[in-house]
Amino acid sequence: MILRICLAAALLAATAVPALAQTKAERALHESLIVLDTHFDTPANLSRDGWNIMDRHDVLVDGSQVDYPRMVAGGVDGGFFAIYTPQGQRGPDGDLKARDAALVRGLEIHEMVAAHPDVFEIALTPDQALDIARRGKRFVFISMENGNPFGRDLSLMKTFYAYGVRLMGPVHFMNNELGDSSTDPRGPEWGGLSPLGKQFVAEANRMGVVLDASHASDGVLDDMLALSKAPILLSHSGVKAIYNHPRNIDDAHLKALAAHGGVIQINAFSNYMIAQPHIPERDAAMGALIKRMTAPGKRTEAQTVALFAAKAEIDKKWPVPRATFDDFMKHMLHAIEVAGIDHVGVSGDFDGGGGLDGLDDVTAYPKITAALLKAGYSKDDIAKVWGGNALRVVREAQALAEKPAR
């Protein structure tokens, strides 16, 4: 995740993109599907003073992109709500801080569901998610972005499994004790997964937890594909053939992922969709602002607004282009062409830095359905992209577990 600071001010300055026209039939088809996003960073908002998941927010006002009213407006049935922890200091002290932060974030997700049992419900299996959706509620899977909270103690995987986590990614922006990140400026440390990271894969398989290779290096993905009995998910990634960024996946790995039964969920993160100019002054200012945004402790809504204002000043002083809905569809259609319709899905990376011109929050999701229809895909094809493929991966991972989820 890169926090919401990468959103609101850019939207204010962005050139509007004409909305993709939707017919009533297209909207009705969208509403008939199970629409699942595999990476919501929305839990980061749950501790914000004055922010409520039940209120309809505006990305241009407070930067948030997912809430219950907008999920309804976008026809979104549910998703994976992420327990994200930034990669901090490595070692016992850092491990404990990451562990405790992750436990608190997971508790906030459970509290959100408990506070609104009429509209949200925790899902542990695909069948539970489908049942929740049929009853008119939104299902909440829980994921972990970054294995930093495990530190060197993989027994904590059992703790988070008991918490309801069913999707785990080993790394984020930096290398850690489990393996190499795709974006660590120091380069690879382990040449893929560490020895502990290989144990992490085995334990995830044993428990029936899906492995998430987003943010991981190509070497980590290679190791996962070689070691995992279950398919791999990339919960929010793009494709290098459209834009060559370390966070994206090349065609050879796309084909290998698909051959192993895995799925790539195309994200809507502008910096990974199109080329960005390198402006050292902007990078330095953004780096300092991100440190302020990721500082521990709660902040008031006024402080959050002030941080957005600082981001607006950076964008005004050093403007950069922003990707569009068409750029997003280029990534998606290329992934479908290379990997096949059974191996592609959707994640906006919303509330974690995602958002493009024309795809700013979950209310825009029906546009993807309309675009896929116009590209010639059938209702069954689109159902796979919106939820069927990701749920299949979860189902297969759980079927291979030594002990099925309770």
Cα 305 from Cα 114, distance rounded (Å): 28
Contact 330, 242 (CB under 8 A): yes
- What ranges make up the beta strands (E) of 339-390? 344-346
Instruction: Give the confidence band of 3 by pLDDT, cuts at 50, 70, 90.
Output: very low
Q: What is the tens place of the pLDDT at every residue in 57-86?
A: 999 888 899 999 999 999 999 999 999 999
Lowest mean pLDDT among 16-25, 104-113, 255-264, 374-383: 16-25
Q: Are 81 and 142 in contact (CB under 8 A)?
A: yes
Domains of the chain: 4-13+21-399 (3.20.20.140)
**Digit-coded pLDDT (tens) for 112-147:** 999 999 999 999 999 999 999 999 999 999 999 999
Pull the structure tokens for residue 50: 């004055």
Residue 1 has pLDDT above 60, yes or no: no
Given a cut of 80, is residue 405 above it in pLDDT?
A: no
Residue 15 pLDDT grade (very low, low, confident, very high; cuts 50, 70, 90): very low
pLDDT at 74: 98
Q: Indicate if the pLDDT at residue 403 is higher than 80.
A: no
Per-residue pLDDT for 260 more than 80? yes
Amino acid code (one letter) for 82: A
pLDDT band at 296 (very low <50, low <70, confident <90, very high): low
Provide the sign of the torsion angle of the four alpha carbons 218, 224, 225, 226, taken in this order: positive
Query: 33-66 pLDDT, tens per residue?
Result: 999 999 999 999 998 888 999 999 999 888 899 9
Q: pLDDT grade, residue 29 (50/70/90)?
A: very high
Average pLDDT, the chain: 91
